[in-house]
Amino acid sequence: MPLFLRFVMSLVAALSLAASAAAAGPLQVAVSIAPQKYFVEKIGAGHVAVTVMVPAGASPHAYEPKPKQLAGLSGAALYLSCGVDFEPAWLPKFRAVNPKMAVVDMTAGLVRLPMAAHHHHDEGEHEEAGHEEAGHHDHDAGAGDPHTWLSPAYVRVMAVAIRDALIIADPANASAYHEGYAAFARELDALDAKILDLLAGLGGRRAFLVYHPAFGYFAKTYGLTQLAIESEGKEPSPKEMAEIHEEATEHGITVIFIEPQFARAPAETVAASIGGKVAVIDPLAENWAENLLAIAQALKGSLAR
């Protein structure tokens, strides 16, 4: 075969492969909440298209995906779960819609904190341990506090699981996923250092009051103590309210933090009783790094005097 003809045939074959790859498009990945989208896109390095099941403004504690969302899962190659409340009921239905879709728990093996109870006096035993890395054990992924994504230490562990799941689903882009993971790990280190520096010098004022106990992992990582009004979806009893008032006074708390996914009125009632105010911090914002820094700044503002 003439050299020129061989060159033309090789060129045609190469272009055909490129066209096939382009036609295949990015890896279709579905996740439960918006912060996961941030992680997957960072590690995916332009090779993923991410669908979020719980839309902005909705709560993953009781969300029910719409039929259109279920139908959209038919094209997903991978679903990354994170242990939020709606998943146990809905993951089997997601698998039924798309049996070929791999379902990976990106929090598997993480040590879960217990959800904060109304009785707060013992809470500091696990949350004042200070800045530390997330550990592992074979605990049931559905138990305990699901808000693991609010600590860079825990996200470091989840990032490895995301990277490995992407590589298994799309081995052709393994090198890109390794590079995306490395870049994201550096971002995590920088964010962690920035938050540590921001919260330095708070002294003995380390307790903050939230309506819903979503910030236990953040508190554990940065040596703070989370006090919560709600527990397991239940309003406090009059006795528990008296205890909350006592603790707020004891710690000099004048701000109650509430998530935008929850009604504001109950928190305002408690705030009025302690002569305080309500402020909003969001555990589900899509720009995770910027939002985590904003949470740190809001907490520092409530603690610093």
Q: What is the pLDDT of residues 200-244, one digit of tens each?
A: 988 778 999 999 999 999 999 999 999 998 876 677 777 877 888
Element (H, E) at 103: strand 102-105
Please say if the pLDDT value at position 282 is more than 80. yes
First to last CA, the chain: 83
Please say if the pLDDT value at position 173 is more than 90. yes
Q: How many CA atoms lie within 13 A of 33 on its CB side?
A: 28
The pTM score is 0.84
Q: What is the pLDDT of residues 61-114, one digit of tens each?
A: 889 999 999 999 999 999 999 999 999 999 999 999 999 999 999 999 898 998
Token pair of 239 as six digits: 């006795």
Q: What is the dihedral of CA 270, 274, 276, 280, to 10 degrees?
A: -30
Domain map (residue ranges) of the chain = 202-303
Place of tokens 């013992």: 122
CATH architecture of 202-303: 3-Layer(aba) Sandwich (3.40)
